[in-house]
């Protein structure tokens, strides 16, 4: 498994990272996935305090604590559960982040977090206060680096410009190329992209056509355009899964492509896809068969 550096940081992460949100809640079942990931060279694991109200962090911490020194562990904050209430509230305040990181450290059984990410963001946030929290945590050695998870270009640009974030997690795939417009801006600020939705909810696998027929559209694609596009991609290659992984990783802005897996077998399918060599010419053909949509909202003014 090859590694890449996240932005201007010293964090060297595997080209495939494991998004832990999809892990089974059973400890033994989750451990089989995480162990298989590590054994196959994955060193980057991403969770969040929001997932399962913190129990995902507990699960990840319990399983990974014995091998922690070899791993890059990332989590997120900014969403706050309120006891007795449905859903969660957005709170990017310094007070909340300083409290949330302590709770995450306890659940993860860690002394420090490698990459701590703001889990969202709006232009109404007091970004100076939010960034100040991350700066303090980094100075105190509680986190090594910080980043943001967002698909709002305006929020991303402001966060990068006013701080020293090294990562931006974004939904990005052959079927959602909207982030490409802003990759140069992200790189110019010394940050890297961490992709999520790399196989677009399974649309970029051999089950793609069947899945497309059950969906009302995806990203900026209408229902009809989605079906036509997935069909066109499927006709050009017998291994759309492998092509999807290669597409994400061909971008210089991308440090790691997150994948999800509930079983070792699902993980192995993606590992096989990663190891499959894709002809650059085929990748170009597949790219031309998709549309490079643009974000219609939250745009950065040129």
User: Which residues are catalytically annotated?
Assistant: 51
Phi, psi (deg, nearest 5) at residue 125:
-65, 150
- For residues 144 and 138, the answer to whether their CB atoms sit within 8 Å is yes
Strand partners, 14: 3
**Strand residue runs (E) in the chain:** 3-5, 12-14, 16-19, 44-46, 72-77, 79-81, 88-90, 113-118, 143-149, 167-171, 192-196, 217-218, 221-222, 254-259
If residue 281 lies in a helix (H) or strand (E), which one and from where to where? helix 280-288
- For residues 138 and 109, the answer to whether their CB atoms sit within 8 Å is no
Give SS3 for 196.
strand
Give SS3 for 256.
strand
Burial label, 187 (beta-carbon count in 10 A; 0-12, 13-18, 19+): middle
Strand partners, 153: none
- For residues 60 and 22, the answer to whether their CB atoms sit within 8 Å is no
Question: For residue 125, what is the DSSP state?
Answer: S
Render 68-105 in DSSP notation, one character per residue.
GGG-EEEEEE-EEE-TTSSSEEE---HHHHHHHHHHHH
């Amino acid at each position: 498994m090859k590694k890449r550096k996240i932005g201007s940081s010293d964090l060297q992460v595997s080209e495939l990272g494991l998004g832990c949100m999809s892990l089974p809640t059973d400890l033994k079942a989750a451990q089989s996935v995480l162990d298989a990931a590590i054994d196959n060279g994955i060193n980057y694991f991403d969770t969040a305090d929001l997932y399962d109200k913190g129990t995902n962090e507990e699960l990840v911490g319990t399983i990974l604590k014995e091998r922690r020194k070899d791993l890059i562990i990332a989590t997120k904050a900014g969403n706050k559960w309120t006891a007795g209430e449905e859903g969660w509230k957005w709170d990017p305040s310094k007070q909340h982040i300083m409290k949330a990181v302590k709770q995450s450290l306890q659940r993860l059984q860690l002394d420090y977090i490698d990459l701590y990410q703001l889990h969202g963001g709006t232009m109404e946030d007091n970004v100076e206060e939010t960034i100040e929290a991350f700066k303090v945590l980094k100075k105190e050695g509680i986190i090594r680096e910080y980043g943001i998870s967002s698909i709002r270009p305006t929020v991303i640009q402001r966060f990068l410009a006013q701080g020293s974030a090294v990562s931006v997690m974004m939904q990005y795939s052959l079927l959602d190329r909207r982030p490409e417009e802003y990759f140069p801006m992200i790189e110019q600020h010394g940050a890297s992209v961490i992709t999520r939705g790399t196989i677009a909810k399974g649309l970029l696998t051999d089950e793609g056509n069947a899945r497309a027929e059950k969906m009302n559209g995806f990203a900026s694609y209408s229902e009809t355009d989605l079906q036509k596009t997935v069909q066109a991609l499927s006709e050009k290659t017998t291994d759309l899964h492998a092509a999807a992984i290669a597409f994400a990783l061909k971008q210089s802005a991308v440090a790691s492509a997150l994948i999800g897996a509930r079983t070792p077998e699902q993980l192995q399918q993606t590992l096989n896809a990663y190891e499959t060599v894709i002809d650059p010419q085929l990748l170009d053909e597949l790219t031309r068969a998709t549309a490079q949509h643009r974000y219609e909202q939250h745009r950065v003014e040129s």
